[in-house]
């Protein structure tokens, strides 16, 4: 894929409106039936539908595979059809025409799943259940401040695992003013209306970790927060989820961050894996 095409795909973060959310799932359900005999595609569609089912039920989803039709799938499809139907059977030709024609649409829908999550649930980072368990083990029972929390999926997941742990969840809620943006409009936990720097300054003495997920690109609020944390008398690590020099955060932040490494950080990324063209991961910085 050419760099220009990759860049264009990565920028498709806020195109679909909430009105298109239900048709998206309806289309995926239709294609699940269409590709019921082709596990290479069926497993991808089932992962999408199961993730949606869990999120709709208020539960954390499972990790996703890479949501992209395999490059060699048409060859595999042809092999299956040839093994199923006699040569020159019109039924085999019809199935080939129907499935091969649907492939580009299925591939596009799979690639658009992140857009669907943003539009339907206001979920930008894909927060899955095994990752939440890893994060809970990393922070232990220590008090945590989440900034830029959006709808609060990380905080809610930690609270479910450690009900007695103090989790302070904050967000400026500026995005709730955008008509087509679901971020902050359907919170799954109580969220205090504070921007990241104000939240840290208010609670710095009461916390042992700060969690920041998917800070907006082209804004420097992440760098402002890191400077405030460094200037504070209360030194705590910042657990950051984002794509370095990509879809999230500012260049200043990525340039100036001091990255922690080691087995504990590796474990945070054990279940936080890319499923599309966005290659975000978990960083621990100071």
> What domains lie within the chain, and their CATH numbers?
3-121 (no CATH), 129-285 (3.40.50.150)
Q: What confidence tens digit (pLDDT) does each residue in 40-89 have?
A: 999 999 999 999 999 999 999 999 999 999 999 999 999 999 999 999 99
Spatial distance between the Cα atoms of 87 and 81, rounded to a whole number of angstroms: 10
Does residue 182 contact residue 18 with C-beta atoms inside 8 Å? yes
100-146 confidence digits (pLDDT tens): 999 999 999 999 999 999 999 999 999 999 999 999 999 999 999 99
What pLDDT is recorded for position 16? 38
Instruction: Write the DSSP string, 72-96.
Output: THHHHHHHHHHHHS-TT-HHHHHHH
Average pLDDT over residues 19-46: 90
* Least confident piece of the model among 6-15, 87-96, 150-159, 243-252: 6-15
Half-sphere exposure for 228 (CA within 13 Å, toward CB): 18
pLDDT in tens, 152-196: 999 999 999 999 999 999 999 886 555 455 555 689 999 999 999
DSSP 92-105: HHHHHHHHHHHHHH
> Taking residues 214-238, what's their average pLDDT?
97
Is residue 285 within a helix (H) or strand (E), and if so which, with residue range? strand 281-285
Q: Is the pLDDT of residue 2 over 50?
A: no
Which pLDDT does position 183 carry in this prediction? Answer: 59
Whole-number Å distance between alpha carbons of 60 and 129: 5
Whole-structure pTM over 0.85, yes or no?
yes
């Amino acid at each position: 894929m050419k760099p220009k095409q990759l860049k264009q795909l990565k920028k498709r973060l806020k195109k679909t409106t909430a009105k298109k959310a239900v048709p998206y799932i309806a289309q995926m359900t239709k294609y699940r039936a269409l590709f019921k005999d082709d596990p290479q595609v069926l497993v991808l569609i089932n992962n999408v539908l199961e993730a949606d089912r869990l999120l709709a039920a208020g539960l954390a989803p499972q990790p996703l595979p890479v949501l992209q039709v395999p490059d060699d799938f048409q060859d595999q499809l042809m092999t299956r059809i040839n093994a199923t139907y006699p040569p020159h059977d019109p039924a085999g030709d019809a199935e080939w025409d129907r499935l091969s024609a649907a492939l580009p649409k299925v591939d596009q829908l799979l690639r658009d799943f992140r857009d669907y999550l943003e539009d339907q649930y206001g979920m930008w980072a894909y927060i899955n259940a095994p990752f939440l368990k890893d994060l809970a083990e990393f922070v232990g029972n220590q008090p945590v401040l989440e900034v830029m929390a959006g709808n609060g999926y990380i905080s809610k997941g930690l609270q479910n695992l450690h009900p007695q742990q103090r989790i302070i969840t904050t967000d400026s809620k500026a995005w709730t003013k955008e008509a087509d943006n679901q971020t902050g409009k359907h919170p799954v936990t109580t969220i205090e209306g504070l921007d990241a720097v104000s939240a840290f300054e208010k609670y710095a003495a009461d916390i042992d970790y700060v969690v920041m997920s998917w800070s907006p690109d082209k804004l420097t609020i992440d760098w402002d927060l890191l400077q405030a944390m460094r200037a504070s008398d209360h030194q705590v690590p910042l657990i950051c989820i984002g794509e370095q020099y990509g879809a999230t955060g500012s260049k200043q932040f990525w340039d100036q961050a001091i990255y922690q490494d080691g087995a504990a950080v590796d474990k945070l990324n054990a279940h936080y894996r890319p499923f599309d063209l966005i290659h975000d991961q978990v960083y621990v910085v100071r």
